[in-house]
């Protein structure tokens, strides 16, 4: 488990899912998102961006606790929004 003091951001696939509304948790414009992104895709993008990802399978976003899609933890190298935009370049 990661805590704020670990200098890691938690990234959920939900942030990149074009089928999810911003009210539910999407964090980027639809044109930058994918349909049903996976933590494996996000992990590969984070590795390509040099963010040292670590996978946590079976975790769920608080807005959708029934969906155990997992999440990745990435190094804090800038703001979270900057990192999300950086990941989209490698998806």
Residue 20 belongs to what domain range?
Answer: 4-88
Distance, CA of 75 to CA of 30 (rounded, Å): 25
Q: Summarize pLDDT for 4-51 with one digit per residue, the tens.
A: 557 899 999 999 999 999 999 999 999 999 999 999 999 999 999 999
Number of domains forming the structure of the chain: 1
Q: Summarize pLDDT for 49-80 with one digit per residue, the tens.
A: 999 999 999 999 998 999 999 999 999 999 99
Domain containing 57 — which CATH number? 3.30.56.30
């Amino acid at each position: 488990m990661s805590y704020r003091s670990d200098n890691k951001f938690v990234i959920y696939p939900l942030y990149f899912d074009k089928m999810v509304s911003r009210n539910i948790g999407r964090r980027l414009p639809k044109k930058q998102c994918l349909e049903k992104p996976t933590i494996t895709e996000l992990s590969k993008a984070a590795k390509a961006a040099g963010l040292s990802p670590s996978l946590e399978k079976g975790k769920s976003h608080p807005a959708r606790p029934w969906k155990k899609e997992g999440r990745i933890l990435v190094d804090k190298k800038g703001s979270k929004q900057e990192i999300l935009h950086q990941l989209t370049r490698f998806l």
